[in-house]
Structure 1
Amino acid sequence: MSRSERLLDLLQVLRRYRQPVSGQRLAEETGVSLRTLYRDIASLQAQGADIEGEPGLGYVLKPGFMLPPMMFSAEEIEALVLGSRWVSKRTDDDLAGAAANALAKIAAVLPAELREELDSSTLLVGPSPPATNGIDIAALRRAIRNERKVELDYVDNDGSATQRTVWPFALGFFENVRMVMAWCELRLDFRHFRADRMQKMTVTEARYPRRRQVLMKDWRSSQNMAASKRETVGS
């Protein structure tokens, strides 16, 4: 690996962390000695990278520092193309268009040889039966983004119809099913709702009282606790 590639790799690793990370951890992830790591950080700082920290305290790359898109590796370009193609076939029309636009913006600033890599990618997404949705998925995504309460007419697995007011905070895209993660005011707990079982959806003007990031964190904790209980019972 050349020195320039090593420095770019270090920047990519730093971008994954929001809190200071130790030099030893960075050295292990980039495959260099701690002494080399310190030299590389000093080089990046001299070149304008806004890296804060020092030995013993850890390092963090401040938000806002952008890597030029021309530095994408071949694997990163393949990942972008494959992801864009998956989104165009597996999500709603708005997201599909957004994925195509994002890829076009990236292509516009790539050097010729990397643009050719993007245009000629041979990673394909196979066909699959279209997901059945009872509601407008794009409207649901906007409700999640804006943290709005949603009223649902929902049919559960047993065929029972219920009306729910929920706080949607995440949307899972499975092969043929869209799953909504939400806090249910009826059950006073987290629940999962299949989009194809939603008979009607009304996005209200009421914002739910907790941020979606907090709901997501609490939901993950509840899922981990449930998994631990299942492992305890099964052991």
Structure 2
Amino acid sequence: MELRESVPLRAGPGGAPVECPVRWQRSSRARRTSLRIDARSGEVVVTLPLRGSRRQGMALLGNHADWVMERLSALAPAVAFADGAEVPLGGIPHRIRHDPAARAGVFLQDGEIVASGEAAFLARRVGDFLRAEARRRILPLVARYAASLGVRAGAVRLKDTRSRWGSCAPDGTLAFSWRLVLAPEWVMDYVVAHEVAHLRELNHSPRFWAVLRSINPHHEAAQDWLRRHGAGLLRVG
């Protein structure tokens, strides 16, 4: 079950009700009713167990209305891939410019992301370009860090995750959010180093952190940047 609707929530005594976007979903794994904020869609997600009721979900929303509205209002504005929109690339703002007469494809030029072709396909083409750019930048970093540690990476996959910037599977497969290409280069560098370090230590033991520190000196600053700005990257596209 998945249902989207607008639900009026009242924050504080005497406050006027405010319409909030809510996505209802039911999960066989849920043991209790829960809620979270989906930063990418800008929705409140209410998860119900199989026998949970809408009434329980509404009660939870009402009891946490202040928290919900505070979190929603703190979200960065959504930025669509559209002509004139400004998106970060490597942490540097780039303006999207639609130029139907430009040479075929999407390319970088003087601080702009220039896209040719029909306007109807602009968003998809810019998204595809950024995913390809993420792969182009991430693969050399994987190779460099793997060589420095004397390990071998498996396949490298690009995903659009909501909570994890990277992961390392037991078989050596590495996965990264393509949205890292939007972050400053040193932040992407840290996430790649973090996941490659797991090829040596597939855990978060003191040995793992020692390995990571040996190849990446700014991991604490990068973690702090992602805590403060990571949710904003989910609002792009």
TM-score by length of 2: 0.22
Structure showing greater relative contact order (alpha-carbon pairs closer than 8 Å, 6 or more residues apart): 2
Return the index of the structure with the highest Cα Rg.
1
TM-score by length of 1: 0.22
